[in-house]
Amino acid sequence: MYDIALIPGDGVGPEVVSEGKKVIMTACQEYGIRINWHEYPFGGETYLQKNILLPDSALSEIKEMDGIYFGAVGDPRVKPGILEREILLKLRFSLDQYINLRPVKLLPGVEGPLRNKTYKDIDFYFIRENTEDFYIATGATFKGRNHQLNHILKRNLFQANIEINFQLEKEEEFGYQLGLLSRKGSDRVIRYAFSLADTKGLARVSTVDKANVLSEMYGLWREVFKEIASEYPAISADCYYVDAMAMLMVSNPEKFKVIVSPNMFGDILTDLGAILQGGIGMAASANINPEGVSMFEPIHGSAPDLKNKGISNPVGTILAGAMMLDFLGEKEASSAIEAAVSSVLKEGKVRTKDLGGNNSTKEMGNSIAHILQNMNRN
Ligand code: IPM
Ligand code: MG
C-alpha cells in the first residue's frame, strides 16, 4: 500500500491529473497494487478564498508519504510567482528533491517539429539540478542610494547568511538576483546523471553551462562535472555552452543520451525538449530525492486559458504517473502504462487537439486505460 499526496492545483491541472489517476488506478488493478490517495486543494482558489498556500502541517504529513502526484499551479488572478514559489518550489526545496529528471523521447506515431527525425532519434534523459542556481530566490528590487539585504538561505546541504550591500553615487533603481551553486549540490546531481547512464547502459553524458561568461558559478559546475566524469572512463563526457546546446538539441538530438544541467538552463532547455517530443503536453517530470519523498508532474503549467475546456493533453501527466510507479519499484505496471500510451499514439485514432485531433482529455485518458486493461489479460 502506497500513500500518495495528490495535488491537482490550478488551470488544466485537475483535468490532466484526473486522467493520470485513472490510468494509474487501472494499472494498479491489473497489477495488484494499492494506493491510498490523499488529496490537497492547494492552488490559486484556496489561496484567494482562505489565504492558505502550503501550510507546514500539510508539508509534515506529505513528508511521511511515498510520493506526490502533482498537476500544475498558477492562476491569472494571483500575482505571478506567489503560487509557484510558495507551493511548487517550496515542495521541491523543503523535500530536497534535488534531481529533476525529464525524459525527452519522441513516441512512435507522434509527429515532432523535425519531421525527418523519428522516435529513434529523440530519446534522452534531461537531468536538471532542482534546488540552486538562480532559483535560490535571493535578491531584491530597490530605489535609492543605499540598499542592504540580509537573507538566510536554508537548504538541506547548508545554511548561508547572505548580506549584500549597495552604495551608489546617486539614486538608482535596480533589480538583482543572486545565483549560487554549491560543490556538494552540483556533485550529487551530476553523480546521479552518470550513475543513470551507467545503469541504463548509455555511453555518453553531456553537460550545459555558461562558463565562458558566468565563470565562477558555472566554472565550479564544470570542474565538478569533469572530476566525476573521470570516475567513469567507459562513459564519454562532454561540455557545451547553453546557447550551443539549444541549437544542437534541435539539429542533432540523436547525439544525446543524458544531459545534466544547472537549474535555470534546465528549465529553459526542457521546454525545448518538450517540443522535440511533440509538444508541452507530452512531457513528464520527476522531482527526485533518492532518500526522501519524490514528486511527479507534467512539465507544463496550469494553462488557465484551457481550464475546464477538457481539451488538454493528459499524456505528460500519465507518463509522470508511470515514472512514479517506476520509482516506487512497480516496474511492470510502469512499463505497461508506457506501452499503452505508445500504442494509443501509434494507432493515432484518439488524439487531443495539440496532436492534430479532436478528442477530449477524457477520451485520451480512457483509451489509454482501456488498452492497459486488455494488455494484461492477453
Ligand atoms: C517547471 C516550471 C517551474 C520552474 C515554474 C512553474 C516555477 O517552469 O517546472 O519547469 O521554473 O521550475
Ligand atoms: Mg519550466
Q: What is the DSSP string of 143-194?
A: EEEEEEEEEEEE-SS-EEEEEEEEEEEEEEEEEEEEEE--HHHHHHHHHHHH
pLDDT at residue 42 greater than cutoff 80: yes
Identify the residues whose C-beta falls under 6 Å from ligand 1. Answer: 84, 88-89, 267, 299, 301
Ligand 1 centroid to Cα of residue 285, in Å, is 11
Assign 342 a pLDDT band (cuts: 50, 70, 90): very high
Ligand 2 centroid to Cα of residue 299, in Å, is 6
pLDDT score recorded for residue 113: 79
> Which ligand neighbours the alpha carbon of 134 most closely?
1
Query: What does the mean pLDDT of the chain come to?
Result: 96
pLDDT at residue 376 greater than cutoff 80: no
Backbone angles phi, psi at 10, to 5 degrees: -110, 175
Per CATH, the number for 1-105+281-378 is 3.40.718.10
Q: What's the rounded mean pLDDT across residues 342-348?
A: 96
End-to-end CA distance of the chain: 26
Q: What's the rounded mean pLDDT across residues 277-286?
A: 96
| Ligand 1 atom at minimum distance from 92 CA | 12
Q: Ligand 1 pocket check: which of 85, 89, 127 to mutate, most ligand atoms within 8 Å of Cβ?
A: 89
Q: Whole-angstrom Cα distance, residue 268 to residue 288? A: 19
Q: Are 147 and 166 in contact (CB under 8 A)?
A: yes
What SS3 state is found at 366? helix
For ligand 1, atom 8, which residue shows the shortest CA distance?
A: 267
pTM summary value: 0.91
Interacting residues of 91 by C-beta distance below 8 A, sequence separation 6+: 54, 59, 62, 68, 70, 97, 287, 295
pLDDT at residue 301 greater than cutoff 90: yes
Q: Whole-angstrom Cα distance, residue 363 to residue 354? A: 14
| Ligand 1 atom at minimum distance from 270 CA | 10
The domain locations on the chain are 1-105+281-378
Residue with cell 546617486: 170
Q: Are 346 and 1 in contact (CB under 8 A)?
A: no
Alpha helix positions (H), the chain: 13-31, 44-50, 56-63, 82-83, 90-94, 183-200, 215-230, 242-251, 263-276, 315-327, 331-347, 361-377
Q: What's the rounded mean pLDDT across residues 210-236?
A: 96
pLDDT score recorded for residue 115: 84
Active-site amino acid positions: 135, 210, 243, 267, 271
CB neighbours of residue 209 within 10 Å: 24
Ligand 2 centroid to Cα of residue 270, in Å, is 7
Assign 378 a pLDDT band (cuts: 50, 70, 90): low
> Which ligand neighbours the alpha carbon of 131 most closely?
1
pLDDT score recorded for residue 21: 98
Residue with cell 541549437: 247
Ligand 2 centroid to Cα of residue 175, in Å, is 22
> Which ligand neighbours the alpha carbon of 82 most closely?
1
Task: Quote the cell numbers at residue 336.
Answer: 505497461
Q: Cα dist. 161→131, 152, 286, 359 in Å? A: 17, 5, 30, 53
Q: Whole-angstrom Cα distance, residue 121 to residue 277? A: 10
For ligand 1, atom 5, which residue shows the shortest CA distance?
A: 84
Among residues 129, 125, 164, 168, the alpha carbon closest in space to that of 284 is found at: 125
